[in-house]
């Protein structure tokens, strides 16, 4: 009989001392002075450093008594027999002695435990990955829980299903489980296990013992920790990390060799299966995720751009955004680009806030304005103009999938108007969100019900996923079917959130029909964990009770808008940051999770805190962001920041969204969009839904409002776009229109110089440089037909990157 597991288990696997207490010689240090291994399956990774630089793989290791503990060339120690010994570490910088005590091996020790030893192997070997037996449908009739988050399920699958053929104690090597894994019989996944490997032997030993289940009181993993948790690495250097699991009985165990590792940015830092992180030539930050038994932990690797800086005197912070950005740049040795010039700022802010180009008159006035606070005044003027709500209503309309499908033409106009009105009045964001999530009534009174109507086909699920992604910045949809592979979210969280919407009813007439909060459950969906209708539970929180009088959706909003809610405010400030800076502090802007850490957590927290303190005042947050010096940096990279893609040491230039770009073309050529139903001067940004046919907008990837994902807009350049811009009658007709910009200039008998200046002001929102004046004037002079020549200049401007990009 094996020993009672809980009694002898993992008394104390490791003693964490931070730094070595007794190096034999100065210089070298280890994270562990002493290692205790308390069963025959235990191992421990030694991490050795010298002068804050990892040298684990440079050192050599020798065990005084290999019959007690073995150590390999990577510094990984394994229990062999009971007793004590010393592992000697040698390196040019010094020597270390690490005492190793081994107990609980062999007779009297515990036997292989399914949950502790076998399940982690299923993850490590890839058996339970989403592409194999871990997917919802399993593979060839064998299904495991994804990444091993449900070991009871896995035990039943391996031991009880397939009429017990998967394990065969009498002849363990003939167990289907081992035959398949070792590739001795045809296996779709190929050979995953070498019969001589320790992994194979562990599984074999477990089968020989009769493939016992883990005892109910076997400790379970509660938390995973990586050591070190972060480190700054030079380029082309490395860092060994170790993974420690904390169990429900308080014990700690090294699970480095039983964990998987994934880098979120392996061009910056990659990781191998032993937990060795390597930096490469590119500076930046990478999050190395490690996963064990459905738990995740993150090691953050920072590869600085240069030596850490004590000060960046050329950058004078304007507000706390700048101060927090500087703090990060100093650590990274990152020097920002200089401030952007006035005219480029004018174009940038006008596009970002208003979704249009500045007019030539605005450019001239801004250049002429000598006030020192002219940028701040400009921001205020733009935020108070009708163009700000118009543009942001377009953005929100896409995110909220406002559409005229299913008879919702009038409702789509109404919802668009409702959004625009909320933004124009700067209605606090929490109230805006409540107006959507808790929408009820007829569409004429509550246009936001079109959000529910457009999601009607899969209402409960789509709404659940959208609420999480849009308003909490959390992608929960994975957890509908399985435990989220990179997060703590499970089906209980998903169905808990769905539980707030089960009582939403809709009438059987009208498009959209009236929606109402019913006292009884209206949805036929079942929570697969309970087999019953989903019950409300806050994500990562408790389960509130509601009376039949309550609308649980209000309860959900109440929870969301609480100042201490960790998701709500962060999601919105990050979305705004992403809009104005071209990349979220966490990216994508709606994918907030521990394994996707923000590039500047302090800045994210400060913005979120202020957003709460200012009672969800969106305009205030926009003002804070765009009046910062960070937003006002030049987009021209310097030697010091050319590799920066995460820390905003320069403004990241980007293409204009489809609607803004079409309006920009129309503005530069002085033509109209010509959409019907939005007024004669209606622009593309004014379109209330996606149902307005436009080859231009489709070609430039107007969102189809299919998904809430902001990344829907970020698709790259295409050949059709270029053919359209460079070689189409559509653009040609705008350039050469009888009432177009060039014709007007010619009709008004403007000089060539004046005309060229006007074209530059209209398209690039700036004066031409002397060189540009010379080139274009020479070009026009060479040609007999001045109108055609000016059209050619305008064509060249429209097809320039400077025109297409907001920079």
Partner 1 sequence: MLDIVGSRRSFLQVGSLALGGMTLPGLLRLRQAGAQSSAGRKKSVILIWQAGGPSHIDMYDLKPDAPAEVRGEFKPIDTNVAGIRIGEHLPRQAKIMDKLAILRSATHTNAGHGMGAQWMLTGYQPTIEVNDNIYPSCGSVAAKMNGPNEPGLPAYVNLPRSLNLGKAAYLGASFNPIAPDNDPNTDGFQVRNLKLPGKVPADRLSRRKELLDSLDTVRRDIDTKGDLIGLDTFYRDALEMVTDPKAQRAFDINKEPIKLRDTYGRNDLGQSCLLARRLVEAGVTYITVQAGGGWDTHGDNFKQLKTNLLPKFDQAVTALVNDLFDRGLQNDVLVMAMGEFGRTPKINGGAGRDHWPGAMSVLYAGGGLKMGQAIGTTNALAEYPTSKPASPGCVLSTMYHVLGIDHKHVFFDDAKRPMPILAEGEPVKELIG
Q: Which of the residues 647 through 666 are near partner 1 (CB under 8 A)?
A: 650, 652-655
Rounded to whole angstroms, the Cα distance separating 559 from 742 reads 57
Residues 314-373 that bind partner 1 (CB under 8 A): none
**Residues paired with 367 in a beta bridge:** none
Rounded to whole angstroms, the Cα distance separating 434 from 451 reads 13
- Judging by beta carbons within 10 Å of its beta carbon (0-12, 13-18, 19+), is residue 312 exposed, middle or buried? middle
Least gap, CB of 740 to partner 1 (angstroms): 13
Q: Which is nearer to partner 1, 319 or 707 (CB)?
A: 707
| Listed ranges 4-12, 217-225, 431-439, 701-709: which one lies at the site for partner 1 (CB under 8 A) | 701-709
x/- mask, partner 1, residues 556-595, rule CB under 8 A, reads --------------------------xx----x--x----
CA 489 to chain centre: 15
CA 602 to chain centre: 17
Least gap, CB of 412 to partner 1 (angstroms): 14
**Residue from the set 425, 529, 695, 748 that interacts with partner 1 by CB under 8 A:** 695
Q: Which is nearer to partner 1, 72 or 458 (CB)?
A: 458
Least gap, CB of 367 to partner 1 (angstroms): 20
Is-contact 93 27, C-beta < 8 A? yes
x/- mask, partner 1, residues 605-644, rule CB under 8 A, reads ------------------------------xxx----x--
Residues 383-442 that bind partner 1 (CB under 8 A): 405
Number of residues that bind partner 1 (CB under 8 A): 71
Please give the torsion angle defined by the CA atoms of residues 279, 284, 287 and 288, in that order, rounded to the nearest 10 degrees.
-10
Closest CA to 41 of 90, 73, 5: 5
Q: Which is nearer to partner 1, 65 or 636 (CB)?
A: 636
Least gap, CB of 349 to partner 1 (angstroms): 17
Least gap, CB of 457 to partner 1 (angstroms): 5
Residues 45-104 that bind partner 1 (CB under 8 A): none
Q: Which is nearer to partner 1, 374 or 807 (CB)?
A: 807
Q: Which is nearer to partner 1, 559 or 567 (CB)?
A: 567
Provide the edge-to-edge strand list for the sheet that holds 242-247: 221-227, 242-247, 252-254
| Listed ranges 47-55, 288-296, 423-431, 705-713: which one lies at the site for partner 1 (CB under 8 A) | 705-713
**Residue from the set 133, 645, 683, 734 that interacts with partner 1 by CB under 8 A:** 645
**Residue from the set 487, 701, 757, 758 that interacts with partner 1 by CB under 8 A:** 701
Separation of first and last alpha carbons in the chain:
72
Least gap, CB of 161 to partner 1 (angstroms): 20
Closest CA to 31 of 45, 15, 47, 42: 47
Is-contact 538 530, C-beta < 8 A? no
Q: Which is nearer to partner 1, 213 or 796 (CB)?
A: 796
Cα-based distances in Å from 424 to 385, 418, 432, 553, 686: 9, 10, 12, 25, 14
Q: Which is nearer to partner 1, 521 or 711 (CB)?
A: 711
Residues 115-134 that bind partner 1 (CB under 8 A): 130-131
Q: Where are the alpha helices (DSSP H) in 19-150?
A: 119-124
Residues 767-806 that bind partner 1 (CB under 8 A): 772, 775-776, 779, 788, 792-793, 795-797, 799-802, 804-805
**Residue from the set 542, 639, 729, 770 that interacts with partner 1 by CB under 8 A:** 729
Q: Print burial letters for 682-698: b (CB count within 10 Å at least 16), e (below 16).
A: bbbbbbbbbebebebbe
Would you list the DSSP string of 60-77?
Answer: EEEES-TTTEEE-TTSEE
Least gap, CB of 551 to partner 1 (angstroms): 24
Rounded to whole angstroms, the Cα distance separating 14 from 55 reads 20
x/- mask, partner 1, residues 438-457, rule CB under 8 A, reads -----------------x-x
Least gap, CB of 305 to partner 1 (angstroms): 15
**Residue from the set 705, 734, 741, 766 that interacts with partner 1 by CB under 8 A:** 705
Least gap, CB of 770 to partner 1 (angstroms): 13
Q: How many CB atoms lie within 10 A of CB 490?
A: 18
**Residue from the set 377, 381, 425, 704 that interacts with partner 1 by CB under 8 A:** 704
Residues 708-727 that bind partner 1 (CB under 8 A): 709, 711-712, 714-724, 726-727
Phi-psi sector, 564: left (phi>0), alpha (psi -120 to 50), beta: alpha
Q: Which is nearer to partner 1, 445 or 732 (CB)?
A: 732
Is-contact 768 757, C-beta < 8 A? yes
Q: Does 248 bind partner 1 (CB under 8 A)?
A: no
Q: Which is nearer to partner 1, 497 or 793 (CB)?
A: 793
Least gap, CB of 715 to partner 1 (angstroms): 4
Q: Which is nearer to partner 1, 316 or 526 (CB)?
A: 526
Is-contact 713 661, C-beta < 8 A? no
Closest CA to 617 of 432, 805, 804, 357: 432
Least gap, CB of 805 to partner 1 (angstroms): 7
331 contact partners, CB below 8 Å, separation of at least 6: 232, 302, 304, 308
Place of tokens 């990344």: 711
Residues 134-173 that bind partner 1 (CB under 8 A): 135, 137
Q: Residue 392 belongs to what H/E stretch? A: helix 387-399
Residues 732-771 that bind partner 1 (CB under 8 A): 732, 736
Place of tokens 């296996």: 187
Least gap, CB of 408 to partner 1 (angstroms): 13
Residues 474-513 that bind partner 1 (CB under 8 A): 475, 478
At 381, is the secondary structure helix, strand, or coil?
Answer: helix
CA angle 325, 330, 331 (to 5 degrees): 100
**Residue from the set 339, 728, 767, 787 that interacts with partner 1 by CB under 8 A:** 728
């Amino acid at each position: 009989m094996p020993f009672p597991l809980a009694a002898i288990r993992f008394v104390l696997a490791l003693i964490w001392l931070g730094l070595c207490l007794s190096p034999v010689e100065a210089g070298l240090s280890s994270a562990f002075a002493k290692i205790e291994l308390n069963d025959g399956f235990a191992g421990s990774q030694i991490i050795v450093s010298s002068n804050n630089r990892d040298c684990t793989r440079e050192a050599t290791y020798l065990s005084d008594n290999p019959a007690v503990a073995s150590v390999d060339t990577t510094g990984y120690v394994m229990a062999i027999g009971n007793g004590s010994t010393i592992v000697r570490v040698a390196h040019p910088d010094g020597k270390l002695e690490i005492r190793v005590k081994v107990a609980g091996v062999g007779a009297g020790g515990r036997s292989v435990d399914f949950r502790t030893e076998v399940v982690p192997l299923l993850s490590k070997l890839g058996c339970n990955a989403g592409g194999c037996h871990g997917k919802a449908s399993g593979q060839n009739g064998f299904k495991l829980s994804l990444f091993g988050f449900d070991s009871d399920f896995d035990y039943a699958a391996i031991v009880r299903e397939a009429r017990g053929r998967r394990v065969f104690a009498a002849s363990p090597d003939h167990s289907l489980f081992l035959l398949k894994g070792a590739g001795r019989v045809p296996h779709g996944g190929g050979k995953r296990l070498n019969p001589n490997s320790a992994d194979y032997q562990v599984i074999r030993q477990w089968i020989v013992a009769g493939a016992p289940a883990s005892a109910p009181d076997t400790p379970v993993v509660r938390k995973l920790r990586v050591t070190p948790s972060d480190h700054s690495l030079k380029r082309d250097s490395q860092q060994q990390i170790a993974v420690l699991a904390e169990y429900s009985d308080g014990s700690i165990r090294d699970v480095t060799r039983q964990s998987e590792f994934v880098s979120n940015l392996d061009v910056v830092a990659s990781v191998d299966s032993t937990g060795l992180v390597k930096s490469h030539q590119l500076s930046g930050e990478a999050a190395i995720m490690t996963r064990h038994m459905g738990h995740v932990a993150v090691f953050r690797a920072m590869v600085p751009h240069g030596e850490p800086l004590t000060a960046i005197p050329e950058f004078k912070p304007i507000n706390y955004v700048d101060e927090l950005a500087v703090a990060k740049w100093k650590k990274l040795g990152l020097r920002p680009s200089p401030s952007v010039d006035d005219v480029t700022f004018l174009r940038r802010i006008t596009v970002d806030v208003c979704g249009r180009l500045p007019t030539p008159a605005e450019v001239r006035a801004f250049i002429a304005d000598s006030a020192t606070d002219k940028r701040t005044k400009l921001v205020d003027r733009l935020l108070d103009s009708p163009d700000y709500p118009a543009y942001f209503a377009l953005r929100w309309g896409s995110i909220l999938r406002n559409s005229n499908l299913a008879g919702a033409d009038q409702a789509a106009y109404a919802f668009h108007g409702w959004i625009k009105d909320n933004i124009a009045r700067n209605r606090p964001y929490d109230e805006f969100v409540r107006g959507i999530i808790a929408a009820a009534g007829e569409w004429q009174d509550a246009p936001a019900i079109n959000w529910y109507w457009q999601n009607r086909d899969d209402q409960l699920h789509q709404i659940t996923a959208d609420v999480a992604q849009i308003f909490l910045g959390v992608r929960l949809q994975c957890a509908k079917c399985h435990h989220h592979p990179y997060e703590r979210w499970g089906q209980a969280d998903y169905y808990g959130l769905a539980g707030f919407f089960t009582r939403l009813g809709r009438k059987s007439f009208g498009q959209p029909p009236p929606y109402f909060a019913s006292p009884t459950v209206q949805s036929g969906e079942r929570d697969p964990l309970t087999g019953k209708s989903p019950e409300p539970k806050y994500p990562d929180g408790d389960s509130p009770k509601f009376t039949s009088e309550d609308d649980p959706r209000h309860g959900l909003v109440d929870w969301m808008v609480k100042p201490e809610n960790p998701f709500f405010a962060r999601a919105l400030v990050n979305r705004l940051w992403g809009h104005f800076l071209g990349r979220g502090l966490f990216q994508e802007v709606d994918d907030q999770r521990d394994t996707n850490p923000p590039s500047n957590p302090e800045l994210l927290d400060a913005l979120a805190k202020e957003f709460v303190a200012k009672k969800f005042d969106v305009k205030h947050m926009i003002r804070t962001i765009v009046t910062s010096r960070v937003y006002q940096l030049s987009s021209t990279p310097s030697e010091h920041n050319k590799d920066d893609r995460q820390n905003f040491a320069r403004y990241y230039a980007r293409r204009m969204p489809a609607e803004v770009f079409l309006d920009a073309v129309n503005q530069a050529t002085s033509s109209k969009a010509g959409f019907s139903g939005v007024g004669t001067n209606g622009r593309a940004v004014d379109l209330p839904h996606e149902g307005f046919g436009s080859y231009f907008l489709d070609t430039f990837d107007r969102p189809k409002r299919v998904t809430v994902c902001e990344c829907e807009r970020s698709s790259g350049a295409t050949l059709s776009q270029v053919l359209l811009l460079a070689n189409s009658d559509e653009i040609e007709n705008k350039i050469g229109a009888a009432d177009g910009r060039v014709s007007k200039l010619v009709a008004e008998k403007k000089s060539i110089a004046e005309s060229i200046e006007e074209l530059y002001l209209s398209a690039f929102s700036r004066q031409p440089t002397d060189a540009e004046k010379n080139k274009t004037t020479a070009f026009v002079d060479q040609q007999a037909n001045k109108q055609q020549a000016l059209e050619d200049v305008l064509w060249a401007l429209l097809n320039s990157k400077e025109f297409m990009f907001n920079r």
